Amino acid sequence: MAVAFDEMNGPGGDLRPAYRELSRWLKETPPDALEYRRQEAELLFRRIGITFAVYGDAEAQERLIPFDVIPRIMSAKEWTTLEKGLKQRVRALNMFLRDIYHGRDILRANLIPDDLIFQNPVFRPEMNGQNVPHDVYVHIAGIDIVRVDADNFIVLEDNARTPSGVSYMLENREIMMRLFPDLFARHRVAPVERYPDELLAALRSVAPLSASAEPTVALMTPGVYNSAYYEHSFLADKLGIELVEGRDLIVKNDEVFMRTTEGLKRVDVIYRRVDDDFLDPLTFRPDSALGVPGLMSAYAAGNITLANAVGTGIADDKAIYSYMPEIVKFYLGEEPILKNVPTWRCREPKDLSYVLDNLSDLVVKEVHGSGGYGMLIGPAATKATIEAFRDKLKREPEGFIAQPTLALSTCPTCTSSGLAPRHVDLRPFVLTGSKHVTIVPGGLTRVALKEGSLVVNSSQGGGTKDTWILDE
């Protein structure tokens, strides 16, 4: 594996311009002052209750995601390219979804094998031919980006279902501003605080035709025990909308209402953080108590907008991911601005045999997995693990893709032995309303806290950083 590109020190250890002030500040600041601020940040996070739950982890039902006080900084120029690429990608994602559930031009053009869609468990036949308001499917996308060198940002994953993490982007900034006012005074950091306003505007813009001029938006959560519950309540609060659970909603005559102290009140747009499977026990899993019976029929009647739409999972599937460059070209007639990671589709015999021959150099992922579960990181795995994976791959090749281990960029991070480079990724949040695609400058930087580790997922012990886009 090549030596990783360091965001601060660049190739050959030359300080990169965006980090000039930070570097100067770090030299002036005694290490114990940094450590003191770090502890203070942790205390703040705990008191505010910014926690997440880890499933199957009874010991620590609510955990803090470690926060690193050293910001990750990008120049305005870098961001501009990234922003263009993200908007392009999300436009294509939306067109792809519309097409898959309607005319299926892309299948007729033989660009994607049919079975990849129709045999896919996240494909929703219920959505065939169904129109969604304003043809927007992915209202909120979280696109995971890694950087491999000075010029190249690469998309690792498109999260088109219910991407989380935006509350950390916002809270990290709040806490940084509180703890390091001096550092902010030396920089011009583009603000991210507009995000809730933009999200609400986007959600209101996609209200169904039958909604009133002032559409009612609600955020739907599976409840307090969900791992991202903090984020759900945080966002509902910032947006000034009700945080509802399935039991708060009722469907009457194909309209959705919430139970309020003043009786039933119609809801027009639901920003739902509940997976497809649990939305409506009459359509999906009948054993689920999280959803609302009849919700899908109100959806079909065009009386409710669900954000994101039902069935968007097909666009963030890892098997479809490898076709994204073709998807962008097909719908927009443009060259994709953001690259994909080279990906071997294990379903294709030629790719499979390459993957089997090179397992110890590759990262192998489950097509439908998420959160860093069930993956093989070849270079870090034991022989036994690799052999176990080889069997799995042979048994069910279509369930996996493989990618080279990327040299993710690193960023200076506080560790027990002082500042040290740690690998980072970036999840910007892209909003699509009826007219515009928007992104607030920044996103959630996740950092692998263990030395050498490439796994940044919070469920696997990763941390987060504030992301600064310098406004030049």
Partner 1 sequence: MLSRTAENLYWLARYVERAEYIARTIDATLRVTALPTAYIGKTNEWESALLTAGVSSSFYETYQEATEQNVVEYLAFSPANPSSIKNCIEAARLNSRSVRTALTSEMWDTINSAWIELQEVWGKGTSSREELARFLRFVQETSLRFDGSAYRTMLRNDAYWFSRLGLHLERADNTARILDVKYHVLLPEEEHVGGPLDYYQWTSILRSVSALTAYHWVYRETLKPWLIADLLILNDTLPRSLASCYSNLVRNLDQIGVAYGRQGASQRHARGVRNRLEHSHMDDIFQHGVHEFIQEFIADNSRLGEIITRQYLI
Residue closer to partner 1 (CB basis): 243 or 454: 243
- To partner 1, the closest distance from the beta carbon of 262 in angstroms equals 5
CB of 46 to partner 1, least distance (A): 7
Buried b (16+ CB within 10 A) or exposed e, 191-214: ebeebbebbbbbbbbbbbeebeee
Q: Which residues contact 262 (CB under 8 A, 6 or more apart)?
A: none
By beta-carbon proximity to partner 1, the closer residue of 174 and 351 is 174
Minimal distance, residue 226 CB to partner 1, in Å: 11
**At CB < 8 A and 24+ separation, what contacts does 42-49 make?**
42/67, 44/175, 44/178, 45/171, 45/175, 48/171, 49/230
Report the interface residues with partner 1, using CB under 8 A: 46-49, 223-224, 229, 233-234, 236-237, 242-245, 247-248, 258-262
Residue 265 C-beta: closest distance to partner 1, Å: 9
Among 81, 154, 129, 54, which Cα is nearest to 371's?
54
Smallest gap from Cβ 359 to partner 1, in A, equals 44
| Residue 175 vs 448, nearer CB to partner 1 | 175
Distance CA 30, CA 41 (A): 17
State in angstroms the smallest separation of the CB of 229 from partner 1. 7
| Cross-strand pairs, 411 | 422
| Complex with partner 1: residue 243 or 296, whichever CB lies closer | 243
Pairwise CA distance, residues 430 & 139, whole Å: 8
The smaller minimum CB distance to partner 1, of residues 82 and 267, is found at 267
Cβ burial, residue 132 (10 Å; 0-12/13-18/19+):
buried
Q: What is d(CA 137, CA 433) in angstroms, rounded to the nearest whole number?
A: 10
Measured from the CB atom, the residue of 47 and 395 that comes closer to partner 1 is 47
Residue 279 CB, shortest distance to partner 1, in Å, is 19
Identify which of residues 5 and 234 has a Cβ nearer to partner 1 in the complex.
Answer: 234
**Angle subtended at Cα 451 by Cα 21 and Cα 189, rounded to the nearest 5 degrees:** 25
Structure tokens at 89: 């990608």
Report the residue number, 131 or 260, with the smaller CB distance to partner 1: 260
What is the closest distance, in whole angstroms, from the C-beta atom of residue 68 to partner 1 in the complex? Answer: 22
Minimum separation from the CB atom of position 386 to partner 1 (A): 42
* 111 vs 224 by CB, closer to partner 1: 224
Neighbouring C-beta atoms of residue 420, cutoff 10 Å: 12
CB of 243 to partner 1, least distance (A): 5
Nearest residue to 204 (alpha-carbon basis) of 122, 267, 280, 284: 267
Residue 64 or 377 having the CB closest to partner 1: 64
Contact 428, 78 (CB under 8 A): no
State the residue for tokens 């501003």: 177
Rounded to the nearest whole angstrom, what is the least distance from the CB of residue 291 to partner 1 in the complex?
A: 16
Q: Measured from the CB atom, is 64 or 179 closer to partner 1?
A: 64
